[in-house]
Structures are given as structure tokens and as C-alpha cells.
């Protein structure tokens, strides 16, 4: 691919999804985009860029989806889920004792492992949450991963990554070679296509936001802008959980780290 075409592609990805495509990612461009070019009869990466320049929206969408990294697994990194169980949930059970309402957002939900991990943790607290209305919203820029998330169907490999065996037995059913998540857990999560570069109004106010392993793909100004918008969409005592390689430090003064809780941040008000 010519340097000009690479620049065009990287500008387009940045505007459409926030993804920063650095020059060392040439191998990714080829392995992920050549199959799309061939499928559409464009044959080469040059042909594909030509299609993008003609503003073929369906092609742009396919290219953005192909260039995103969708890897996820159940209870990824453990700590955020330990924090949820030991710190966030006990706080909300007290603080929302009147409204009995909790709203959680998994802001880069990918194929659903993150929101379903939260749903299973909540299901395990059934007695404490009797009479409560708990909403989990899972959003992602990619329609393709959301289709998989909605289906709640996982391979043996996927359920072996991070999911405790007791939870597998309790909340999944074997379907051929695959495992289907229980309808009760499935029903606890609503999915919606959503680009984190867009305005957050219309999503409502959240008590907890999991925004993990997506900011790492953005540049500093984009990370800062997303963090500020997240703060605006959260309750005054809202809590934000970031990925292991992500932080608010140096990016946003709207959050501060929660002491002794790695990856967990609380909203700063006033
Ligand atoms: C690596 S996955 C993270 C999944 C999950 N949060 C986890 O930590 O396991 C990153 C997800 O971010 C999504 N993504 C990338 N850019 C996005 C954007 N601008 N808006 C919303 N989602 C985006 C991708 O489609 C992908 O599914």
C-alpha cells in the first residue's frame, strides 16, 4: 500500500472510530483488509482504498469493524470483578436503598463476556438484590460482535478462559460443540450499537461504567474527551472501571483513583 493510501486509511479510521493506526501496523492492514477487498471483488488494497474514497458506507463500516480488536474473555483480569463485588456493589446496596435501582454500562462490550460476567456476579447476589431493578447496557461500535453477544453462544475455548467451572455449570448449557448462556443471564443485558466518539446524551445516567481495553487504541485528546463525557453521564458517586493498561492520570481531572482498588476511579464533583 502506498504511503498516501496508508495515510488515507489511518485518517479515516481515526475519524470513524478513534483508532490510531501507526506505521508499524502495516501487517494488520494486510491480514485484515485483504480478505474484505477480495470478498467485494476489489482484489487489492489499492482497490479497497478506492472504494473507501468513493465513500462506500457499507465498505467503510466493514473496514472499521475489521480493524478493531475484539478480544475479550469472562472475568478478564479478575480485579475489576473483585472490585465490583467487594466495593462497588456493597456501596450501591446502601446508597441506592431507596430507589433500588442500579444502572451499569459496559462501554466496549465486544462479544459479551464483560457484561455477562457482571450479570453472573449479580445473579449470585440474588437475595440481596431481591426487589431491585438492575440494568446492564452493553454497547460497541461493531454490529458483528453485538450479534455474537446477543446470541450468548461461546466456544469451549472461550468458556475455558476465565470462567470458573461452577459458573459454567450453573449458567451455561451445552449446544453441540458450543455453550449457550442461560436466558436469565442473557435477559439481564441490553445491547446497543454505539460509538464512543459520539455524544452520550440519550444513554441516561450510570452508577457504574466498565470501559476497558478500548481507550488504549485512542490518542490522548480522544481518551480525554471520552473520559470527560463518561464523567458527565455518571451519577455523583459513580464508579469507573478501566482496563489494566489504562488510566485517567494525566488525561482527566473528572475522576480520581479509589484507594487500594486498582483500575477503579470515582467521579470528582464540584
Ligand atoms: C479489546 S475489546 C474489549 C472488550 C472488553 N471491554 C474487555 O475488556 O474484554 C475492544 C472493543 O472496543 C470496541 N471499540 C473500538 N472502538 C470503539 C468506539 N469508537 N466506540 C465503541 N466501541 C469501540 C471494539 O469493537 C471492541 O469490541
User: Angle, to 10 degrees, between the axis of helix 57-67 and the axis of helix 143-151?
Assistant: 60
Closest-CA residue, ligand 1 atom 7, reads 72
Average pLDDT value for residue range 23-51: 92
Q: Look at residue 269 in the predicted model and tell me its pLDDT.
A: 84
pLDDT digits (tens, 9 = 90+) for 99-113: 999 999 999 999 999
Categorize the per-residue pLDDT at 5 as very low, low, confident or very high, splitting at 50, 70 and 90: very high
Q: How far apart are CA 190 and CA 138, in angstroms?
A: 6
Please give the C-alpha separations between residue 225 and each of 71, 110, 230, in angstroms, as whole numbers.
24, 21, 9
Distance of alpha carbon 69 from the chain centroid: 11
Residue 46 has phi, psi (to 5 degrees) of: -65, -45
Is residue 25's pLDDT more than 90? no
- CB-based pocket (< 6 A), ligand 1: 17-18, 68-72, 76, 108, 110, 114, 140-142, 145, 195-197, 212-214, 243
Q: Cβ neighbours of residue 96 under 8 Å, at least 6 residues apart? A: 102, 132, 207
Nearest to 209 by CA among 181, 238, 184: 238
Residue located nearest, by CA, to atom 19 of ligand 1: 17
Q: Which atom of ligand 1 is nearest to the CA of 142?
A: 25
Contact, 78 vs 111, CB < 8 A? Answer: no
- The least confident of 1-5, 71-75, 140-144 is 1-5
Q: What is the pLDDT of residue 230?
A: 98
Domain parsing of the chain, residue ranges: 3-67, 79-150+187-267
Task: Give, using CA atoms, the residue closest to atom 26 of ligand 1.
Answer: 70
Please state the rounded mean pLDDT for residues 169-188.
Answer: 98
For the chain, the straight-line distance linking the first and the last C-alpha, in angstroms and rounded, comes to 50
Each residue's pLDDT tens digit, 152-173: 999 999 999 999 999 999 999 9
Tens digits of residue pLDDT in 197-221? 999 989 999 999 999 999 999 999 9
Contact 146, 200 (CB under 8 A): no
Q: Which atom of ligand 1 is nearest to the CA of 194?
A: 21
- Cβ–Cβ < 8 Å for 96, 133: no
Mean pLDDT of the chain: 96
27 pLDDT higher than 90 = no
What the block records as the C-alpha cell of 25 is 501496523
For residue 99, the CA-to-ligand 1 centroid distance in Å is 31
Q: Which atom of ligand 1 is nearest to the CA of 17?
A: 19
Give the pLDDT confidence of 234-257 residue by residue, as tens digits.
Answer: 999 999 999 999 999 999 999 999
Cα 127 to averaged position of ligand 1 atoms, centre (Å): 32
The per-residue pLDDT for 78 is 96
Q: Which three cell numbers stand for residue 28?
A: 494488520
pLDDT in tens, 103-139: 999 999 999 999 999 999 999 999 999 999 999 999 9
Q: 116 alpha carbon to ligand 1 midpoint, in Å?
A: 15
- The pLDDT-based confidence of 26 (bands split at 50, 70, 90) is confident
- Rg (C-alpha) for the chain, rounded Å, is 20
Closest C-alpha residue for ligand 1 atom 27? 110
d(CA 210, CA 164): 21
CA atoms within 13 A on the CB side of 34: 7
> Among 1.10.3210.10, 3.30.450.20, 3.40.50.150, 3.40.50.1000, what is the CATH number of 79-150+187-267?
3.40.50.150
Contact call for residues 115 and 73 (beta carbons, < 8 A): no
Query: Please, which residues bridge with residue 189 across strands?
Result: 136
Alpha carbon 114 to chain centroid distance?
A: 8
What's the pLDDT at 32? 94
Question: Would you state the pLDDT for residue 23?
Answer: 85
Q: Which CATH class is domain 3-67?
A: mainly alpha
Rounded to an integer, the average pLDDT of 19-42 is 92
pLDDT, mean of residues 15-27? 91
Q: Is the pLDDT of residue 270 over 80?
A: no
Q: d(Cα 32, Cα 68) in Å, to the nearest integer? A: 10
Is the model's pLDDT at 196 over the cut of 90? yes
Q: Quick one: pLDDT at residue 1? A: 86
| Cα–Cα distance, 58 to 143 (Å, whole number) | 12
| Three-state secondary-structure class, residue 179 | strand
Amino acid at each position: 500500500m502506498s504511503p498516501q493510501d496508508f495515510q488515507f486509511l489511518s485518517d479515516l479510521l481515526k475519524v470513524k472510530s478513534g483508532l490510531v493506526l501507526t506505521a508499524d501496523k502495516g501487517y494488520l492492514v494486510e491480514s485484515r483488509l485483504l480478505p474484505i477487498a477480495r470478498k467485494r471483488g476489489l482484489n487489492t488494497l489499492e482497490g479497497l482504498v478506492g472504494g473507501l474514497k468513493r465513500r462506500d458506507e457499507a465498505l467503510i463500516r466493514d473496514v472499521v469493524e475489521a480493524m478493531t480488536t475484539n478480544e475479550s474473555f469472562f472475568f478478564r483480569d479478575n480485579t475489576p470483578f473483585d472490585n465490583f463485588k467487594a466495593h462497588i456493589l456493597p456501596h450501591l446496596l446502601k446508597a441506592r436503598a431507596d430507589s433500588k435501582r442500579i444502572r451499569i454500562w459496559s462501554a466496549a462490550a465486544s462479544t459479551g463476556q464483560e457484561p455477562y460476567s457482571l450479570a453472573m456476579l449479580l445473579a449470585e447476589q440474588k437475595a440481596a438484590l431481591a426487589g431491585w431493578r438492575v440494568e446492564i447496557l452493553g454497547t460497541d461500535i461493531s454490529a458483528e460482535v453485538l450479534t455474537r453477544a446477543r446470541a450468548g453462544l461461546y466456544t469451549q475455548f472461550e468458556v475455558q478462559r476465565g470462567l470458573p467451572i461452577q459458573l459454567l455449570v450453573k449458567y451455561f448449557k451445552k449446544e453441540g460443540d458450543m455453550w449457550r448462556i442461560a436466558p436469565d443471564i442473557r435477559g439481564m443485558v441490553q445491547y446497543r450499537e454505539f460509538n464512543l466518539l459520539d455524544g452520550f446524551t440519550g444513554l441516561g445516567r450510570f452508577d457504574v461504567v466498565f470501559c476497558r481495553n478500548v481507550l488504549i487504541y485512542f490518542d490522548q485528546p480522544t481518551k480525554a474527551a471520552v473520559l470527560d463525557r463518561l464523567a458527565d453521564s455518571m451519577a455523583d458517586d459513580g464508579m469507573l472501571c478501566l482496563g489494566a493498561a489504562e488510566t485517567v492520570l494525566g488525561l482527566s481531572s473528572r475522576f480520581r483513583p479509589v484507594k487500594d482498588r486498582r483500575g477503579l476511579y470515582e467521579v470528582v464533583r464540584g
